[in-house]
Each structure stands twice: as C-alpha cells, then as structure tokens.
Amino acid sequence: MKGVKLADVLKKYTMVIALVLVVILFYITTQGRILYPQNINNLISQNAYVFVLAAGMLLCILTGGNIDLACGSIVCFVGGVGAVIMERDINVWVAVIIMLVCGALIGAWQGFWIAYIKVPPFIATLAGMFAFRGLSNVILQGYTVGIRNVTFLNVFGGGADCYIPDFFGGAALNMTCMITGVVIAAVYAGVVIFNRINAGKNGYEVEPAGSAITKTAVICAVVVWLFYMLANYKGIPTSLIWIAIVLMAYSYITTKTTMGRYLYAVGGNEKATRLSGVDSRKVYFFAYLNMGLMAGLGGILTVARATQAQPTFGNGYEMDAIAACFIGGASAYGGEGGVFGVIIGAVLMGIINQGMSIMGIDANYQKAVKGLVLLVAIIFDVMSNKKKK
Amino acid sequence: MAKVLLEMKNITKTFPGVKALDNVNFQVEEGEIHALVGENGAGKSTLMNVLSGIYPYGTYEGSIIYNGEECQFQTIRDSEKKGIVIIHQELALVPQMSIGENMFLGNERGSKNAINWNETYKEADKYLKMVGLSESSHVLVKDIGTGKQQLVEIAKALAKNAKLLILDEPTSSLNETDSRALLDLMLEFKKQGMTMIIITHKLNEVVYVADKITVVRDGSTIETMDKHSETIDEDRIIKGMVGREITNRFPKRENVPIGDINMEVDDWTVYHPLYTERKVVNNVSLSVRAGEVVGIYGLMGAGRTELAMSIFGRSYGSEIQGTLKVHGKEMTLKSPREAINAKIAYVTEDRKGNGLVLSNPIRVNNSLANLAGVSNRGIIDKDKEYAVAMDYKEKLKTKTPTVEQNVGNLSGGNQQKVLLAKWMFTDPDILILDEPTRGIDVGAKYEIYCIINDLAASGKSVIMISSELPEIIGMSDRIYIMNEGRFVGEMKASEATQENIMACIIQSGKGE
C-alpha cells in the first residue's frame, strides 16, 4: 500500500487546499490583515452559528441530500422566545433550557411530518420557514428586544466580556489560552499515536506513516497557531467552546455510533437499510430532531452575540449552513460527508466573507462570490462521482 | 459465404490501471445471430460500447469496419445513423410517457419546431405490430409489464432503421415465457435479414438462438464457434468460457442429517400493496427443516419474492393472512427487525437496489443488519467490526484487496458474497436466498453453491428461490413449484426433472 499518489491526495484534500489558497490570496490582497488576531477572533465569533447549524444540517443531508430550510427562522423564533422570557427576569439557565427544548420540539414537529407522514423535507421545512418567521414577529411583536442578562451574554459569546478569563495573568499573552492550545495539540497527537499502536498490535491496516505524521503535525500546528493568535487578542471566545462541543459531539455521532452509521446507510440505500432491520423513519426523525436542537443553540448564540433579538435575525442562515456542508464535501445525494468537511466549508465561507469585507468589497458582490464557490464545490462533487462510474 | 457486415480489428481499450480489451478481433456476418458470451467483467459490454460510440473514436486502439467502410464514431448518434442500435440491459424507457413518446424520444417525427403526433403514433403502432405487441402506442409504459417493455425497446430500435441490433442481456428481467417469445422474435427478424448480436449469460438461450458464438475471456476473444460446423451444447460453451471443463456444475452435498422443522408457514395469503383485492400469494403452505435446502421454483412474477418478503417481517403486501411458526412457536413478525430477531434472514434478489449500500465499504455493509453485534450501547467498536469483516472475507473467499473497499467497486459475484456475509453475520437459523446467483459468472456461482451447502451442513435451514431449473434441481433436497401465487407441486430432488417440474406448471395453468 505504499506510494500514495499525488492525485489521490489532491482529490481527498481539495477543499483544504482551496482553503489554503484562499487564505493566501486574501493575505496578499489585505496586506496580511486577514490574519490579525482580532480578525481571527471575529471569524470564529461571527460564524459560530454556521458551525452549529451546519453540524445539524449535515445529519439531514446525509440521509439523502435532504435539507432544512426552516432553521434560519427557527433561530429567530428561539432567540425571540429567549429574549422575551429573559426580560421577565427568569433564571438564565431555565431560559436556556426552555430555548433548547423549544428548538428540539420544533425539530420533532418537522421530523414527524417528514419521517412518519412522508411529507417531502423541502416542503415541510419550507412551511416551517414561513411559519416560524411569522411567529417570531408575533412573539417579538415586531420590535427589537434587548438582552441584559450578563451571565447569558458572557457564556454564549456576546457583549464585552465573552472570553475565558486568564487564570495565569499573563501580561501581553493570554496564558490560559496558550496552554489550552498546547494541551489540545498534545492530547490529539497522543490519541493518534495510541490508536496507531493499538491498531498495529491487532494487525489492522494503518495509514502509511508518512502521511499520518504529516497530517497530525499539520493539525497540531494549526491548533497551536490558532490559540496563539487568540492569546494575542483577548483569549478564548466562549462561542468557540460551544462550537468545539457541538463539532466533537457530531463527529462522535457520525463516526462512532450506530445511529450515525444508519444516517449514512439510509442516505446510501434506503431500501437495503430498511430490509436490514433498521427503522428508517426513526433515522429521519433523529436527523430533523437534531437539526431543531442545533437551530435552538444557534438561536441562543445569535441573540447573545447581538445582545438583542430582532424579527429579522437568522435570515438566510439556512443557506449558509447548507452551503458549508456542500462545500465541505457532503454529497447532494446523501450518504457521504463528515464533520471535518463541515469545518472546512464553514471556515472557507467565513474567510471569503471576511476577506472581502476587509477589502471593502460591496456585500452584494460577496453574495455573488459565495454563490459561485458553492456552485464550483457541487460541480466538483458531481464530476468526481461521474468519474467513479 | 455471406458478406461480412462488421469487423472489429485489434481493438484495445484501457481504463486507468486496467486493460479491459486486449487486441480483440470480432467478425459478424450479415444476417446472422451472433452470441457474445463470457464471464462478468470479461469485456463483452466494453466491446459493444466501443462499437456503438459510447467510447468515442480515439479512446481505443484498433479499427471498426462496418459495411465495407471504416467508421470513427464519436457518439451513439453516429453509430445509430449507420444502423447500429444497442439495447441496453437496463430498460431506458420513461415510465410516465406513452409507448409512442418513448419510441421516438430523441428521434422525433415532424419538423424541427413541432412534433407531428399523428405520425408519431401511427409509426409507433406500425413498429409495435412488427414486434407482436397489440397495445396501442398511447398506453403509458408504466402500465405494461417488463416483458412488453423489452419489446417496446426493440420496436424503438427498429424505428431507428436498425440493420445491426445489439441486445445486451435482453432476457435478464423476463420470465421464461416472455424470454422464449423474445428469442422467437429474434429468429423471425433473422429470416427478414436482420443481423443481431446478443450478449447473455443464459447458455440455453445461446444454444437456441445463435448461429455463431464468440467467447470473450479476460478482455480477449478466445474462440468463435459455428453452429453449422459443429454441435454446440452448454457444456461446450462453458468449457470455452472458463477455460476448463466443469465436470460438475453443482458441488456434492455431504450427507447431513436433516433435523426438526425450523419454520412452518400455513395458508399464507398476501394481497398486493396497491390493488388490495388482488392475491399475489394464494394459500401457500411450506415447511423447512434444519440442515435442509428447500428450493422454490417459479417463473418471474409467480409470487416467490413476494412470499419471501412477506414472511420476512411483512416487508411486502397490504394484508397478510396465515400462520407462521418458527421453531414450533407461532409468531407475528411485523418488521424486518422482528424477523431478524426470530433468526430469519432474507437475502434479496436485487443486491444493488435492496441489498447493499454501494457507496459504503465492505466492512460497513457486512455489519449493517447486525450492528448490535459489533457495538456496545450504540457505540460501534470499529476494531471488532473490521475483524468480523476480515473473517467473512476469508471464509467466503471474497476477492478484494481490503474490506475498506467500497462495495460498488466489486464484481457481481463478490457483491453477492458480501451480501451473504451480511446475513450470515445476523446468525440466522433460516435463510431465504432469493435468486442467489443471478447475474454472476460460472466460477462465482460454484462458490456460492459451496457456501449454501456449508450453511446447510451446519444445521441451518435454507430456502432457495430460483428461476433456473438446473440450479434448483442440482442444489435442493426438496422443491416447491410456484405458479401464479400458488404452490402447484412439491417433489423430492431425486424425483425432479426439468420435464416434470415444467409439467406441474403447465397443468396448473390448464386447471384454471
């Protein structure tokens, strides 16, 4: 199995390579400003919702290219509910739980129609898109409702103080952040080595040493660099914690659990999966339930960051999430894709947005470019599928 | 000596990494039916794709001489203009369109800007009559059976002024009666001077219809047999295909003691899912013992698959009546999961559509029906899963570099092995195998038969559904014969012959 072909590597990591090229491009056109610590920090906090929604959307797409058009409206609705109840001085954690439950219930509502009544997902969620946008307006009565609960804002990445405090009191550099980064990289490398030794012991196939080392080294270097940048600004933004939790959880669900396996199987061949004794309805229901839950969390992050809820929030968020999944290599026919791809897709879109903003390019052009990037990504997916045949 | 209509000279076609065709020479004379036989992946379809321009000129080496002139086809259209028309194995008809619309799809009658529907339907009716169909060309394709759809395909080819007709596995989805009708139609066309190439796995059809037989093996043409200069039977063809004489097409059964009744079905009646008053399976009773291989023979459409699927957790049918006893205990199995838990496995006839997730690796497919066996509270143990897949790969001799290979990349025979492995891993007591050797080559068939025998030897009950008579007689201990939803006969394998099985079916038809 030696001699990994360059072409194969290029194909496997096309989007990673594209991401690197885009970063280099913007690095040049913005005279390096795109990689300023503050901008990196903003990239994360501004796009937190994309990561979270795309993780949920990934599950739906895996089941057969199904999407959820309603999640932007659900973000707004849940955010609105939260803002209104927090105005009444309710306990912040109770409010958070209500918001998450609210998202999950909406997800269950849509999932029920899609999974058990067989309403096409596109239509079921289109209905949700209209309905919850309208209901958001009803709840907020058309006004902006501010959020003043400091705990809520700090925990979910809004206001001035939404960073993990520096326990070590480093002067210029946030030591807590720096140490966290190094620890994460070390733990990751440790796990990789441990798994490799284990696999070797049991006589399983392992990745060629060269590529495994390179991959691990690159990932560790990126992590340490990222945390170094953040340490140079204000430290770890709390929204990054939520992103990390969600991505780790979904990475675990998709790769390690039986439910994750069923998502891929249903997307790959639903009939075969059903005849294998899997209740495919449960799988669809699970996917949309999760999407609702993530939309709930997305709502929390969105209103926290804005420190208020408005009836227009979340507009077009569903498209960002869908685009992140597809750019990240999820198949439009289902059954293929992963959390790593979602990360790459979301970062790529975020970089493009931010790079063009820094360059002062009009927001409308930005949309056009985003559209083109999405199209190119899908063309690539279709072409590579065609070649397989 | 008839005129040579087509000559393909020194054709070589390489795909990245594989030489699909290696210096192939192939000649077809005018007015003959020429059969192209060979194992799966031997290169028959590739050769025809080169001929019809699916692989355009320049992507292969060698030359094609048709009707005395050298051809350089860029697209299928080029070859069709010359009268070379290929009918693919999978029907290429749009179900929601009428026969007439389908027939002239891409070949519309009328002017550039307006289709002349009157002429379309008139012409369509003319060609339909030529293939012996009495349907009106206004009927929608989805409303006619597969056999008739195949005839529509042929009519469609005729409408293109075909001079050389290529039929790729034309009978693979037809029942015996429809197949025979189709072959007779081919003979009729031959009389009218049409030249035809037929690709098929069914050797009895080759013997019946072909004038010449060319054997393709590993990308080369091995030999061409001429029916007029030597007598050709199936064994002669098999010898050419596998390069050795297969003395015994079915492995010997060891004498295993047959045990208790594992499963019993009584008065089983299944209604059609859409036309809910139609009985697809009508009052069927069967039993199978441990260590026994029970064959169910029937033509396509006899209700065999429907019977099997309705037993397997009611995955077919609107209403099901009758009793099902597993190990002597009466059971109601409402879903595939419950059937699997009751130790029943159903190995589908349609491995690509209903059996495997082609985009997933062997390892994943292997454990799909029994993920609980490789996981702990919903968490998959990948190491264990890998070990299981490797174990079955060794046991069933699946040919693949690794179990991480996507199932879609395997040959039919190896896919079938993965499918069997998947169901063996659910540790069933009763296996229902639906056409377990459909569309796979002679060598792989033999291996599948060995696996079936091993399963029976280990005390499992096997129900094998097949529409191939030699297979059902060669493999079963006992045979049920099914026709039009009923069991019309039951006999021991030792008493069964092709003739008396067919007699059962014919008699049952008369009794109505």
* Per-position DSSP letters for B291-357, written without gaps between them: T-EEEEEE-TTSSHHHHHHHHTTT-S-S-EEEEEEETTEEE---SHHHHHHTTEEEE-S-IIIII--
Angle at the Cα of B304 from the Cα atoms of B302 and B308, rounded to 5 degrees: 155
Residues facing B63 on adjacent strands: B9
Neighbouring C-beta atoms of residue A71, cutoff 10 Å: 38
Q: Which of B6, B8, B10, B11 is nearest to B67 (CA)?
A: B6
The B-side interface with A (CB below 8 A) comprises: 312-313, 315, 335-337, 339-340, 346, 348, 353-360, 364, 368-369, 371-372, 375, 378-380, 382-383, 386-387, 402, 404, 408, 422
Which of chain B's residues have a Cβ under 8 Å away from the Cβ of A257?
375, 378-380
Which residues does B417 contact at the CB level (< 8 Å), separation at least 6? Answer: B396, B397, B398, B444, B447, B448, B451
Tell me, yes or no, if A256 comes closer than 8 A to chain B by beta carbon.
Answer: yes
DSSP assignment of B496-511, as one string? --HHHHHHHHHHHHHH
Exposed (0-12), middle (13-18) or buried (19+): which is B244, by Cβ within 10 Å? exposed
Pairing of strands B261-271, B320-326: antiparallel
Sign of CA pseudo-dihedral B109, B111, B113, B118: negative
Tell me, yes or no, if A202 comes closer than 8 A to chain B by beta carbon.
Answer: yes
State in words which class domain B248-343+428-512 has. alpha beta
**Do A272 and B356 lie within an 8 Å CB cutoff?**
yes
Q: Which of A347, A302, A303, A307 is nearest to A324 (CA)?
A: A347
**Do B357 and A256 lie within an 8 Å CB cutoff?**
no
Distance in angstroms (rounded) separating the CA atoms of residues A233 and B133: 80
Which of chain B's residues have a Cβ under 8 Å away from the Cβ of A269?
353-354, 356-359
- Backbone dihedral angles phi then psi of residue A49, each to the nearest 5 degrees: -60, -35
Residue A2 half-sphere exposure, CB side, CA atoms within 13 Å?
2
pLDDT for res A389: 40
Question: How close A278 comes to chain B (CA, Å)?
Answer: 7
User: What is the helix (H) or strand (E) element at residue B223, kind and residue range?
Assistant: strand B220-226
Q: Could you say which of B360, B369, B375 has the minimum Cβ distance to residue A268?
A: B360
Write out the two tokens for A18. 């594209």
**Do B339 and A273 lie within an 8 Å CB cutoff?**
no
Distance in angstroms (rounded) separating the CA atoms of residues B253 and B261: 20
Question: How close B274 comes to chain A (CA, Å)?
Answer: 17
Sign of CA pseudo-dihedral B267, B271, B277, B278: negative
Pairing of strands B486-492, B478-483: antiparallel
Which of chain B's residues have a Cβ under 8 Å away from the Cβ of A273?
357, 368
Q: Is the pLDDT confidence value at B90 over 80?
A: no
How far out from the chain centre does Cα B62 lie?
A: 32
Question: How close A330 comes to chain B (CA, Å)?
Answer: 13
**Do A269 and B379 lie within an 8 Å CB cutoff?**
no
Neighbouring C-beta atoms of residue B106, cutoff 10 Å: 9
pLDDT for res A121: 95
B333 to chain A: closest CA residue = A277
**Do B357 and A275 lie within an 8 Å CB cutoff?**
no
**Do B364 and A261 lie within an 8 Å CB cutoff?**
yes
B403 to chain A: closest CA residue = A205
Which of chain A's residues have a Cβ under 8 Å away from the Cβ of B353?
269, 271-272
CA dihedral A124, A126, A128, A129 (to 10 degrees): 170
- With left for phi above 0 and alpha for psi between -120 and 50, is residue A31 left, alpha or beta? left
Which of chain B's residues have a Cβ under 8 Å away from the Cβ of A268?
357-360
Tell me which DSSP letter residue B407 carries: G
Contact between B194 and B28 (Cβ < 8 Å)? no
- Backbone dihedral angles phi then psi of residue A361, each to the nearest 5 degrees: -80, 140
Contact between B174 and B147 (Cβ < 8 Å)? yes
Which residues does A299 contact at the CB level (< 8 Å), separation at least 6? Answer: A74, A75, A76, A77, A78, A79, A82, A99, A103, A314
Write out the two tokens for A94. 């109770």
Which of chain A's residues have a Cβ under 8 Å away from the Cβ of B316?
none
> Best interface-test mutation with A: which of B337, B341, B343, B371 has the largest number of A CBs within 10 A?
B371
Looking at every residue in chain B, the average pLDDT score rounds to 87
CA dihedral A239, A244, A250, A256 (to 10 degrees): -170
Question: How close B348 comes to chain A (CA, Å)?
Answer: 9
- Backbone dihedral angles phi then psi of residue B324, each to the nearest 5 degrees: -125, 125
Write out the two tokens for A77. 């609705």
Tell me, yes or no, if A261 comes closer than 8 A to chain B by beta carbon.
Answer: yes
User: What is the helix (H) or strand (E) element at residue B14, kind and residue range?
Assistant: strand B4-15
Write out the two tokens for A111. 């999932």
Question: How close A352 comes to chain B (CA, Å)?
Answer: 32
Contact between B256 and B319 (Cβ < 8 Å)? no
Average pLDDT over residues B438-452: 85
Distance in angstroms (rounded) separating the CA atoms of residues B69 and A74: 68
CA dihedral B132, B137, B140, B144 (to 10 degrees): -10
Neighbouring C-beta atoms of residue A93, cutoff 10 Å: 11
Q: Do domains B4-242 and B248-343+428-512 have the same CATH topology?
A: yes
pLDDT band at B401 (very low <50, low <70, confident <90, very high): confident
How far out from the chain centre does Cα A135 lie?
A: 26
Model pLDDT for residues B223-272, shown as the tens digit of each residue: 888 888 888 877 788 777 766 555 567 887 777 788 899 999 999 999 98
A333 to chain B: closest CA residue = B359
Write out the E strands in chain A: 145-146, 308-309
**Do A256 and B379 lie within an 8 Å CB cutoff?**
yes
Which of chain A's residues have a Cβ under 8 Å away from the Cβ of B408?
388
Which residues does B75 contact at the CB level (< 8 Å), separation at least 6? Answer: B53, B56
**Do B360 and A204 lie within an 8 Å CB cutoff?**
no
Q: Domains of chain B: which residue ranges?
A: 4-242, 248-343+428-512, 353-427
Which of chain B's residues have a Cβ under 8 Å away from the Cβ of A388?
408
Q: Domains of chain A: which residue ranges?
A: 14-141+237-388, 165-235
> Helix, strand or coil for residue B116?
coil
pLDDT for res B1: 52
Residue pointed to by tokens 């280099």: A24
Exposed (0-12), middle (13-18) or buried (19+): which is A228, by Cβ within 10 Å? middle
**Do A279 and B356 lie within an 8 Å CB cutoff?**
no
Residues facing B124 on adjacent strands: none
**Do A264 and B360 lie within an 8 Å CB cutoff?**
yes
> Helix, strand or coil for residue B42?
coil
Contact between A63 and A254 (Cβ < 8 Å)? no
pLDDT for res B40: 64
**Do B378 and A265 lie within an 8 Å CB cutoff?**
no
Tell me which DSSP letter residue B91 carries: -
Distance in angstroms (rounded) separating the CA atoms of residues B234 and B214: 13
Model pLDDT for residues A81-139, shown as the tens digit of each residue: 999 999 998 999 999 999 999 999 999 999 999 999 999 999 999 999 999 999 999 99
Which residues does A38 contact at the CB level (< 8 Å), separation at least 6? Answer: A233
Percent with pLDDT over 70 in chain B: 96
Distance in angstroms (rounded) separating the CA atoms of residues A263 and A60: 8
Percent with pLDDT over 90 in chain B: 39
Tell me, yes or no, if A264 comes closer than 8 A to chain B by beta carbon.
Answer: yes
Q: Which residue has the higher pLDDT, A369 or B510?
A: A369
Which residues does B50 contact at the CB level (< 8 Å), separation at least 6? Answer: B8, B11, B13, B21, B60, B64
Question: How close B284 comes to chain A (CA, Å)?
Answer: 23
**Do A275 and B346 lie within an 8 Å CB cutoff?**
yes
Tell me, yes or no, if A205 comes closer than 8 A to chain B by beta carbon.
Answer: yes
Model pLDDT for residues B449-498, shown as the tens digit of each residue: 999 999 999 999 999 999 888 889 889 999 999 988 899 999 998 888 87
If you count residue pairs, one on A and one on B, with CB atoms under 8 Å apart, how many are there? 85
pLDDT for res B491: 93
> Best interface-test mutation with B: which of A63, A258, A280 has the largest number of B CBs within 10 A?
A258
**Do B353 and A256 lie within an 8 Å CB cutoff?**
no
How far out from the chain centre does Cα A235 lie?
A: 21
Distance in angstroms (rounded) separating the CA atoms of residues B53 and B45: 12
Question: How close B385 comes to chain A (CA, Å)?
Answer: 11
Distance in angstroms (rounded) separating the CA atoms of residues A22 and A303: 30
Neighbouring C-beta atoms of residue B460, cutoff 10 Å: 23
Q: Could you say which of A205, A256, A279 has the minimum Cβ distance to residue B402?
A: A205
Is the CATH number 1.10.3470 carried by domain A14-141+237-388? yes
Give the residue ranges of chain A where pLDDT is below 50.
1-3, 388-389
Q: Could you say which of A257, A275, A277 has the minimum Cβ distance to residue B348?
A: A275
Q: Which residue has the higher pLDDT, B47 or A100?
A: A100
Distance in angstroms (rounded) separating the CA atoms of residues A61 and A250: 14
**Do B364 and A275 lie within an 8 Å CB cutoff?**
no
Tell me, yes or no, if A276 comes closer than 8 A to chain B by beta carbon.
Answer: yes
> Helix, strand or coil for residue B64?
strand
Contact between B25 and B216 (Cβ < 8 Å)? no
| C-alpha distances out from residue B173 to A383, B145, B165, B200, B410, Å | 31, 11, 19, 12, 22
Sign of CA pseudo-dihedral A120, A122, A125, A127: negative
Write out the E strands in A124-227: 145-146
pLDDT for res A170: 65
Report the first-to-last Cα separation within chain A, whole angstroms: 23
Q: Is the pLDDT confidence value at B25 over 80?
A: yes
Q: Could you say which of A202, A261, A271 has the minimum Cβ distance to residue B380?
A: A261
Question: How close A276 comes to chain B (CA, Å)?
Answer: 4
Q: Is the pLDDT confidence value at B400 over 90?
A: no
Q: Could you say which of B369, B378, B408 has the minimum Cβ distance to residue A276?
A: B369
Model pLDDT for residues B265-292, shown as the tens digit of each residue: 999 999 988 878 888 899 999 999 999 9
Which of chain B's residues have a Cβ under 8 Å away from the Cβ of A286?
none
User: What is the helix (H) or strand (E) element at residue B284, kind and residue range?
Assistant: strand B279-289
Please state which architecture CATH assigns to domain B4-242.
Answer: 3-Layer(aba) Sandwich (3.40)
User: What is the helix (H) or strand (E) element at residue B10, kind and residue range?
Assistant: strand B4-15
Amino acid symbol at B416: Q
Question: How close B3 comes to chain A (CA, Å)?
Answer: 37
Which residues does A372 contact at the CB level (< 8 Å), separation at least 6? Answer: none
